Chain A
Amino acid sequence: MVENATLSEGDYGFVLKLDDAVPFSDSTGLPSVKYNLSLEPGECVFVECRDSFRAAQFTDFCVGLLPVKPDPSTGKGQGTVSCMGLNWAELDEKRAQALRGRIGRITDDSGWIDLYEMHMNILWPSLHHSRTSYDKLVLEAVHLAESFGLPGLPTQLPEKLSLLDRKRSEYVRTFMNRPSLLLLENPINLGGPIELYNAFLTELTAARERGCAVVWIGSERSAWAGYARPGMQRFRLGSNGLVK
């Protein structure tokens, strides 16, 4: 592959494709069964999962961190997990990391690095994966921060911010740098303010219109009840794997 080549949406059919993929995991996490999921650009899939550990393992499986179980007879992996047309198992570490840079994630623990202030935490993935100038990134972050109800980019340490502001900051980080795929683990707290919920859905819709695919994992169906439309794929992630 040419170093400077970029992938446009026409180059790959699905943003995320799990094709009979069996994860390499123990009995406590993701069940070792076949997973099938296809996600086109702009598509949104809802996955109901009440176990946060299992949900985290599933998103790790989608981003290639949890490998595919090898077939004892052939030695090859059982099924494939591809992102933007690229099979995780065939990518070397550097390319896999670059591809993960195109994915926006919301995780249960948020993963803030307490050594840096919040603005650096927000900009960190974009600074690492892109060559966009610092000023442009700050402008984009400020615009997103304001749309989520923050007065600007928060400059305190993550631990000094309120839970709500940390959530807002997490949204900003997730939507930064125009991701091609969003993996959202319980992105909505139903106890939060309605303005934040609306702002999140607005940004989500805007991202989908740009061609970003979305996997929305929630413990309650009611979380996406206001957003789901007929025809959208819905699954349940349980002890039998991903079930429609």
Chain B
Amino acid sequence: MNFSERFAVINSGLAMLGRFARSQPRFFLVMIGAAWGVVYETLRPSSWRRTVIIEFRRNLRQLVGSGFFSVVVVAVITGLGLVSQAVYWLGFAGMAQMTGSLLSSVLLREIAPILVGVILLGRSGMLMLTEMGTLTTSGRLNTLNGMGIDPFLVFVVPRTIATTVSGITLGTIFSVIALGMGYVACWMKGIVTSSIWSFIFDVINSMEPGDYVGIPLKFLLSGASVGLCCCLSGMDVTAEDNLTTFMPRGFSRGIMSILVINVLIDIILGSL
């Protein structure tokens, strides 16, 4: 291999590295910018036009309506499995007094926000991604622009707000049902003999002050990141993309954003 061939190989290698390095933070930076845009538009009363309100209601109905049954099923399974197992094994190890703190730290703080985020992503986020991708590739968003309708305002803003609201709604439902089912399972097996109120009291008592901010914040931001990530991934498609390329990309971005949000909140609140 002579010098020019070596140079061409190095050149193409560096170009690949540069493309990779540039492409990775690009979407992250787009997300940050768009998140600020959503906050800015949400706080402006003139942004809440009838089209935005209609889109918000339609999506909220779809998100909570379609996600409700999934959340109930997953919460029941989680309650039966995780809570009853935790209570059983802690009792077996003579550490029954740790039940509350374990449930609050594992179920409410870590598992519930991620599971609810994944349900939102799977049930509605992927639908949003497909819809936005189709609207983009078919040129409908350009047509809307030509009519003076900003696609960011009428699609991204209401959808992100709707996923944020449904995130905390479904998260609360999930937490209550999972804890309730866990108690019922243990009570039926005779593992716990205390009342449900003292069981809930144990869980609440073991929560730290930061949890009262951190847990709702995780539900809210997990929902927001799913909505924003799916809408932007859909708008980010190019003419070369098709369902087989942008769906997996949008899904992995969605999962990544849920995990990053949860870890970041843990780090920030843990360091306070």
Residues of A within 8 A of B (CB): 59-60, 63, 65, 93, 96-101, 103, 105, 107, 109-115, 120, 124-125, 127-129, 134
Do residues A60 and B146 form an inter-chain contact, with CB atoms below 8 A?
A: yes
Choice from B50, B134, B143, B154 contacting A111 with Cβ under 8 Å: B143
Do residues B146 and A127 form an inter-chain contact, with CB atoms below 8 A?
A: no
Do residues A127 and B51 form an inter-chain contact, with CB atoms below 8 A?
A: yes
Q: Which residue of B lies closest to A113 (CB)?
A: B140
Top 10 A-B pairs ranked by shortest CB distance?
A: A111-B143, A100-B148, A97-B148, A101-B148, A127-B50, A128-B51, A125-B147, A128-B149, A127-B51, A111-B140
Residues of B within 8 A of A (CB): 49-51, 54, 58, 131, 134-135, 138-140, 142-150, 154
Contact A107 to B146, CB < 8 A, known contacts A113-B135, A113-B140, A115-B131? yes
Do residues B50 and A109 form an inter-chain contact, with CB atoms below 8 A?
A: no
Say how far B1's CB is from chain A's closest CB, in angstroms: 39
Do residues A65 and B145 form an inter-chain contact, with CB atoms below 8 A?
A: yes
Inter-chain CA distance A111–B54, complex, in Å, is: 19
Do residues A97 and B146 form an inter-chain contact, with CB atoms below 8 A?
A: no
Say how far A80's CB is from chain B's closest CB, in angstroms: 20
Inter-chain CA distance A129–B72, complex, in Å, is: 41
Q: For B146, list chain A residues within 8 Å (CB).
A: 59-60, 63, 65, 100, 105, 107, 111
Contact A109 to B139, CB < 8 A, known contacts A127-B50, A127-B54, A128-B49? yes
Say how far B191's CB is from chain A's closest CB, in angstroms: 49
Inter-chain CA distance A93–B149, complex, in Å, is: 11
Q: Which residue of A lies closest to B44 (CB)?
A: A94
Contact A127 to B147, CB < 8 A, known contacts A111-B139, A113-B140, A120-B54? no
Q: Which residue of A lies closest to B52 (CB)?
A: A128
Do residues B148 and A96 form an inter-chain contact, with CB atoms below 8 A?
A: yes
Do residues B139 and A97 form an inter-chain contact, with CB atoms below 8 A?
A: no
Q: For A124, list chain B residues within 8 Å (CB).
A: 51, 149
Contact A125 to B140, CB < 8 A, known contacts A115-B131, A120-B54, A134-B50? no
Say how far B200's CB is from chain A's closest CB, in angstroms: 42
Chain A CB count within 10 A is highest, among B49, B139, B143, for B143
Q: For B140, list chain A residues within 8 Å (CB).
A: 111-113
Q: For A96, list chain B residues within 8 Å (CB).
A: 148
Chain B CB count within 10 A is highest, among A63, A128, A134, for A128
Do residues A128 and B143 form an inter-chain contact, with CB atoms below 8 A?
A: no
Q: Which residue of A lies closest to B51 (CB)?
A: A128
Q: For A65, list chain B residues within 8 Å (CB).
A: 142, 145-146
Inter-chain CA distance A103–B148, complex, in Å, is: 9
Q: For B134, list chain A residues within 8 Å (CB).
A: 114
Q: Which residue of B lies closest to A95 (CB)?
A: B148
Do residues B149 and A97 form an inter-chain contact, with CB atoms below 8 A?
A: yes
Q: For A113, list chain B residues within 8 Å (CB).
A: 135, 140, 144
Inter-chain CA distance A134–B50, complex, in Å, is: 9
Choice from B142, B149, B150 contacting A125 with Cβ under 8 Å: B149
Inter-chain CA distance A134–B150, complex, in Å, is: 21
Q: For B50, list chain A residues within 8 Å (CB).
A: 127-128, 134
Inter-chain CA distance A23–B140, complex, in Å, is: 23
Say how far A155's CB is from chain B's closest CB, in angstroms: 15
